[in-house]
Structure 1
């Protein structure tokens, strides 16, 4: 009788231990499946702004994309104190001394020039203005889901375009480019 109780006790412990391990395996499968359902897509690149039109403008602009939202963060130096226009232009070609090789504003949806988000329309390259302090330094931060880095949507893909900084202020209404004046900085958006 003692042997039967001992065998029953041993089988009970063995069964309880075996069942205890199974939920862990199930949890692992569930967590792995959940991770596959919600992938995190991250892309980033950093570009250097070169001086144009005899300026001393330099800087670094970083782009990052996560789950369909692009962030642009940059620091620009060598500017005159005050406001300066900043745009994305059509081509990542900064070979011309005056930056004109980058073409016009990037405008894949054929909208009029304007302030970003304006109901009357705006170019996808119409970033607006940045403000330089007395040391000639300015920063820019922009986040949007209207851009992507290397996607297949030509109305959103910023790769192959250029960031241009102008000497003047974008008035956000003059056609076709906001009357921002000479191009004083250029950076191709390339990997």
Structure 2
């Protein structure tokens, strides 16, 4: 729980300058709803090691980072690591074909690591006793929708255990229990 509070504090601290700047304007600009430019959204249809549908994760590029949303089910209850991996390939049952975490800058793993983090490092998922989780998270660590479509693509992987946010290279997250190839939407 302390890690969740710390991550929330970090995210809010990063957002404060933008909020302060917006409040400084004498007259706020009119709110505009813009559709993201073509090529700025992606999705991953996630399957478990038996090939059963687990759900969908979407990625939307914004001015300040990538908004990541998901609705997943049929997962084991508890806390699970969730990462973007470097290869767009999800061969069951172990999903090792997805490679390591998406890490083009060759940093250490972990949201709490002094020499981290990977672009693919994301907060843990908290799956309920019913095996379901719905989430919205935001990545401001260099990940972009465009970067996920390099020569071999990318995948999103759900791990068996929680990410400890500092052990290199995987956060001691255990095996891979679900995977989805990131595709343009």
Residues 67/132 of structure 1: CA separation in 2 closer, same or farther (3 Å cut): same
In the alignment, is residue 64 of structure 1 matched against residue 60 of structure 2?
A: yes
- TM-score, normalising length from structure 1? 0.68
Higher helix share: 1
1:94-173 equivalent positions in 2, closer than 5 A: 94-115=90-111, 118-145=113-140, 146-150=142-146, 157-159=147-149, 160-173=153-166
Q: 1:97-138 CA deviation, whole Å, 9 max, x = no partner? A: 21000001111111111116x543211111131100111111
In the alignment, is residue 80 of structure 1 matched against residue 76 of structure 2?
A: yes
In the alignment, is residue 89 of structure 1 matched against residue 81 of structure 2?
A: no
Task: Please tell me whether the aligned partners of residues 44 and 156 of structure 2 are also in contact (alpha carbons under 8 angstroms).
Answer: no
**Paired position in structure 1 for 2:16:** none
Q: Matched residue of 2:47: which SS?
A: strand
Task: Please tell me whether the aligned partners of residues 120 and 143 of structure 2 are also in contact (alpha carbons under 8 angstroms).
Answer: no
Task: Please tell me whether the aligned partners of residues 56 and 79 of structure 1 are also in contact (alpha carbons under 8 angstroms).
Answer: no
Task: Please tell me whether the aligned partners of residues 113 and 122 of structure 1 are also in contact (alpha carbons under 8 angstroms).
Answer: yes
Q: Matched residue of 1:88: which SS?
A: strand
Unaligned runs of 5+ in 2: 1-33
Structure 1 Cα separation of the partners of residues 63 and 126 of structure 2: 30
Structure 1 residue 84 displacement after superposition: 0.4
Residues 69/122 of structure 1: CA separation in 2 closer, same or farther (3 Å cut): closer
Cα root mean square deviation, aligned = 2.2
**Paired position in structure 1 for 2:8:** none
Residues 70/55 of structure 1: CA separation in 2 closer, same or farther (3 Å cut): same
Unaligned runs of 5+ in 1: 1-38, 151-156
Paired positions, count: 145
